[in-house]
Amino acid sequence: MSLTRLLQLASPALPVGAYTYSQGLEWAIEAGTVKDEATVLQWIADQLEWNLGRFEAPLLHKMMKGGEIAELDAQYLASRETAELRAETLQMGHSLARLISDLKENIAVPPASTFMGAWSAVAVAWQIEPREALTVWLWSWAENQTMAALKAVPLGQAAGQRILLEIGSRIPSVVERALALDEDSTSNFAPGFAIACARHETQYSRLFRS
């Protein structure tokens, strides 16, 4: 059952609205920084390495280990550097909490949680191992980023699969490092990402909400 639950959390069909966000990628495409398969791969790989792998994944691990959820949730919300990123995680957290309620699952999702806070609560309740949960968290994010690139660059389906194949090969080592990373070594310092997200808020023509 834990495997099927894991796949359910990983599925792009999870109705929380993740597909409507690009997290600054759309602006990077508009600016010409991301323009083809190679630059899409570089953008996603850099985010995986320097942002998610060194901050989000370790933080998710702390939540699943039974850390102070409210404090960790607030820390994650504070790390959302733009209004769009903040709105994104709160909307998705609310949608996931509502979904769990609609499914009649007896899971205590803290009110007004970020998406990570709500997601970690569900993963723990469904008895998903942290290593597997971190893998799924990173994979789901990478898949959403790739799908955004397919629509906005645009790229073909084969290019998307090549990108996911390469990113997928990197995720296991990112997970292992995240599991071992101490608090003093975590960081989400990614100024290019923050600038892209901020610029997206005033982008004239766009497909995505962030």
Q: What is the pLDDT of residue 111?
A: 75
Half-sphere exposure of 139 (CA within 13 A, CB side): 19
Residues 43, 25 contacting (CB under 8 angstroms):
yes
Q: Which two tokens stand for residue 138?
A: 């990173």
Provide the CATH number for the domain formed by 2-7+22-200 in this structure.
1.10.4190.10
User: d(Cα 207, Cα 129) in Å, to the nearest integer?
Assistant: 35
Q: What is the pLDDT of residues 72-119, one digit of tens each?
A: 999 999 999 999 999 999 999 999 999 999 999 889 887 779 999 999
Q: What is the pLDDT of residue 108?
A: 85
Vertex 54, ends 130 and 62: CA angle to 5°? 35
Residue burial 7-31, b: 16+ Cβ < 10 Å; e: rest:
eebbeeebebebbebbbbbbbbbbe
- pLDDT under 70 in the chain at which residues? none
| Residue 102 buriedness (CB in 10 A; 0-12 / 13-18 / 19+) | exposed
Q: What is the pLDDT of residue 66?
A: 86
Hey, where are the domains in the chain? 2-7+22-200
| Residue 92 buriedness (CB in 10 A; 0-12 / 13-18 / 19+) | buried
User: d(Cα 90, Cα 88) in Å, to the nearest integer?
Assistant: 6
Residues 114, 71 contacting (CB under 8 angstroms):
no
